[in-house]
Chain A
Amino acid sequence: DQQVKQNSPSLSVQEGRISILNCDYTNSMFDYFLWYKKYPAEGPTFLISISSIKDKNEDGRFTVFLNKSAKHLSLHIVPSQPGDSAVYFCAASEDQAGTALIFGKGTTLSVSS
């Protein structure tokens, strides 16, 4: 039973346009959400996070939006760059420290120049 779902396995966008990656969750006890980026043959790299008490968090070109009533979050990348091409994982935590993260299956983003 998947508690964190990324229903789009892949997404293709053109350089300079907006990339929107989506994530849905089922567990209303999740308190914190994180996005990780992963290149082939490397480990995931932390991108951005959001607490359940907020609905938006921005960091440069990356913005995460959280809609608690819909149990949905999204990652916006503006403008998209070819170097953003990677697998993006959504992760959630229900403990206050984020000891054990629950990951989605990932979305592969391809940004073409």
Chain B
Amino acid sequence: NAGVMQNPRHLVRRRGQEARLRCSPMKGHSHVYWYRQLPEEGLKFMVYLQKENIIDESGMPKERFSAEFPKEGPSILRIQQVVRGDSAAYFCASSPRQGALGNYGYTFGSGTRLTVV
């Protein structure tokens, strides 16, 4: 049973380009969460999605960032017109029911390290 799969592991983009980060949840998990970790910081919640629905996007920057979790396929975090400050590790997590509690925490993927040059 594969864990949460994120790709690519490393992504380099020039300023102004678009970054697309993909996350395939664990089998049987229909709840997906995206977190961002800036250098020397803890993880910060960005967005919570269920299939075809954004449930909580309170942590998403208002501009340039969007997320989706289609009926088929992985969840996608899209960052348009990237800037140097977007350089970070982006982690996806999944769970079989809503939230970390009672689910023994989320299961996190290994992350995508985005570098904007």
Which residues of A are at the interface with B, using a C-beta cutoff of 8 A? Answer: 4, 6, 32, 34, 36, 41-47, 49, 89, 91, 93, 95-106
Contacts and interface: CB of A to CB of B under 8 A. Distances in A.
A85 B40 CA distance: 18
Given A97-B102, A99-B100, 10 more contacts: A32-B101, A46-B100, A46-B105, A47-B105, A93-B99, A95-B99, A99-B55, A100-B45, A103-B35, A106-B42
B56 A105 contact: no
B56 A99 contact: yes
Interface stretch (B12-20, B61-69, B76-84, B106-114): B106-114
Interface of B: 4, 33, 35, 40-45, 48, 55-56, 58-59, 91, 93, 97-111
Nearest to A89: B42
B40 A105 contact: yes
A5 to B, nearest CB: 10
A44 B108 contact: yes
A11 B91 CA distance: 25
18 contacts: A34-B100, A42-B110, A43-B93, A43-B108, A44-B108, A46-B100, A46-B106, A47-B105, A98-B101, A99-B48, A99-B55, A99-B100, A100-B45, A100-B59, A101-B43, A101-B100, A101-B106, A104-B42
A104 B91 CA distance: 15
Nearest to A97: B99
Pairs A-B, 3 closest by C-beta atoms = A46-B105, A97-B99, A43-B108
Nearest to B43: A103
A67 B101 CA distance: 20
